[in-house]
Structure 1
Amino acid sequence: MLKINTLLTICCFTLFFSCKDDVNTTFEDINITTENNSVVEVNIPKAVGNKTVSSVINSEIEKEVIANLHLGEPNAINAKSIEESINNFNKEFETFQTDFPEISQPWEAQIDGEIMFSSPEIISLALTSYMNTGGAHGMLKVSFLNFDATTGKTIPNKNLINDTEVFKQIALPYFKEATKDKDIFEPELDAFKLPENIGYNDEGIVLLYNAYEIAPYSTGIIEFEIPFNKIESYLAFNSAR
């Protein structure tokens, strides 16, 4: 009887730890390309671990990459995979070369992703996209994706913060400090808008405004961080890893 109880205990511990490992989501870096690709570079994290959670996260990352590689109206995206998007981008470049042979400047597109923060509650990821289709300068864009670590579903910015108005009061001085040497209008609280990109990192909450979001392209990206100890009580998700 003792041997049976011991065996059952071992089995329970084994099942517990295997289930625990299966819940955790980790990431591996992958490079995605196609056979005839010459102008697109895609390096992104791929979620592994719990199959359900990983599948949802990877699907959202794929959608964002496809959108960033798309040329034309956002509502006209028809690519079903990153590979198809890469091929479409290359075909557009080949068509451009045929139509304008006198223009020798090559196109390029690069997308790099990194995990900014990961905890049992929330995962924050940054995708940096650079695209040049022969213009005077390329376009740089950063996108933050926040995921519920238990489901893999994306978290809207409004659900990251418990009290948006108080959060804006705390964020405004950091915004003014980050933009004090830039030629942009400094808003008062009632006109201050939070950026499209808000995410977690190891030290606090990161707020990032892409070029054109609140200022001319020449101003570049505006980014600043609010330490966790200044904002902790207003966060909807625990900052502890």
Structure 2
Amino acid sequence: MFYKKHLLIVCSLFICIACKDEVKLSFSEINVTTNNNNLVEVNIPNAIGNKAITNQINSAISETVIASLHIGDPDTIASKSIEESITSFNKEFLTFKTDFPKTIEQWDAQIDGEIIFQSPELISIAITSYVNTGGAHGTINITFLNFETETGNLIPNEKLFKDIEGFKKVTETHFYETIKNEDITLDIENFELPANMAYAEDGIILLYNTYEIAPYATGIIEFTVPFEEIDSFLHFNSF
């Protein structure tokens, strides 16, 4: 009887371990398009594994792509899928051509995503979008998404840190070191953390998109703060 009970406990442990293994995630790259699409190219990560977790991650990625392809007021987004947003983008272009039949301007959009960090605690994904709707130049925008590995929930920036003020002080030094040799005038009086921060292999990446704190000509400002300088401020492990 003792042997049978012992065997039952061992089997239960193996089942628990197996269940934990099921929540491990992997990613594939997918291309999303539609019929009659000549303008938009979308290549993004697709989370595979536990449905409750992967649905959260894939939905957040889709929402970012949809927002990137939306033309007009961001509060009026109607598309419910990437496919709908691609179709809408193409229809907007056809309307533009109808309204301005003599124009030679062309529209296009390229959206790519990549995994920049993955650990048992956290996954960081970068979505890079280039959208050209016939202006003087297209617009490049990069969005970082940080997810809890065990739940798939998006992590707000402030939840990445145990001590965000301590992190900010260290980061400020790196920021001014990054821009010291640049011939730019920043439209800020006091240093502020960017909207986009993410874990990467060597540290925390901080990225200011075009127009976020400086004129268009400045472009994207990006730098990395090494983990060894900031580990004590981070909520998640860097390994």
Structure 2 equivalent of residue 223 of structure 1: 222
Q: Which residue in 1 is equivalent to 2:168? A: 168
Corresponding residue for 1:19? 19
Q: Give, as a single letter, the amino acid of the residue that structure 1 aligns with 2:210.
A: A
Which secondary structure does the structure 2 equivalent of 1:154 belong to? coil
Which stretch has the larger CA shift, 5-14 or 108-117? 5-14
Whether the 8 Å contact between 1:25 and 1:48 is mirrored in structure 2 is yes
Q: Which amino acid aligns with 1:44?
A: I
Describe the SS at the equivalent of 2:146. strand
Counterpart code for 1:194 = L
Which SS does the other structure have where 1:178 is aligned? helix
**Secondary structure of 2:64's match?**
helix
Return the letter of the residue paired with 2:204.
I
2:195 corresponds to which letter in structure 1? E
Identity of aligned residues (%): 54
Match of 2:114 in 1: 114
* Alignment partner, residue 154 of structure 2: 154
Task: Report the Cα distance in structure 2 between the residues aligned to 1:137 and 1:219, rounded to whole angstroms.
Answer: 14
Letter aligned with residue 34 of structure 1: T
Paired letter, 1:222: I
Question: Is contact 2:25-2:48 (8 Å) kept?
Answer: yes
- Contact 1:33 / 1:86 at 8 angstroms: preserved in 2? yes
Letter of the 1:191 partner, please give it.
N
Offset, 1:8: 5.1
Q: How many angstroms apart in 2 are the aligned matches of 1:33 and 1:180?
A: 43
The Cα RMSD (Å) is 2.1
CA-to-partner distance for each residue in 1:116-159, whole Å, 9 max, x for gaps? Answer: 10111111000000000111110000000011111111111111
Partner of 1:183: 183
Matched to 1:170, the amino acid is V
Determine the structure 2 residue equivalent to 1:199: 198
Distance in 2 (alpha carbons) for counterparts of 1:106 and 1:4: 73
Q: 1:85 maps to what in 2?
A: 85
Q: Which residue does 1:139 correspond to in 2?
A: 139
Residue matched to 2:233: 234
Distance 2:7 2:62 in 1: 44
Contact (CA 8 Å) 2:110, 2:129: kept in 1 or not? Answer: yes
Range with greater deviation from structure 2 (14-23 or 119-128): 14-23
The alignment status of 1:62 with 2:50, answered yes or no, reads no
Q: C-alpha distance in 2, partners of 1:216/1:79? A: 31
Instruction: Check the 8 A contact 2:186/2:214 in 1, yes or no.
Output: no
SS in 2 for 1:46: strand
TM-score normalised over the length of structure 2: 0.93
Where do residues 26-105 of structure 1 align in structure 2 (5 Å cutoff)?
A: 26-105=26-105
Residue by residue, what CA displacement relative to the aligned partner does 1:90-131 show, whole Å, maximum 9, x if unpaired? 000111111112112221001100011011111100000000
CA contact (8 A) 1:115 1:124 kept: yes
Judged with a 3 Å threshold, the aligned counterparts in structure 2 of structure 1 residues 35 and 2 are, in CA distance, closer, same or farther, namely farther
Superposed CA deviations along residues 154-193 of structure 1, whole A, max 9, x for unmatched, are: 11111111222211110111111111122334699x8110
Kindly indicate whether the alpha-carbon contact (under 8 Å) linking 1:176 and 1:186 is maintained by their aligned counterparts in 2.
no
1:209 paired with 2:238, answer: no
TM-score (norm 1): 0.92
What is the DSSP-based 3-state SS (H/G/I as helix, E as strand, rest coil) of the residue aligned with 1:124?
strand
Q: Is the alpha carbon distance of 1:162 and 1:2 closer, same or farther for their aligned partners in structure 2, counting shifts above 3 Å?
A: closer
Residue identity opposite 2:220 in structure 1? I
Residue 12 of structure 1 and its aligned partner are, at CA, apart by 4.2
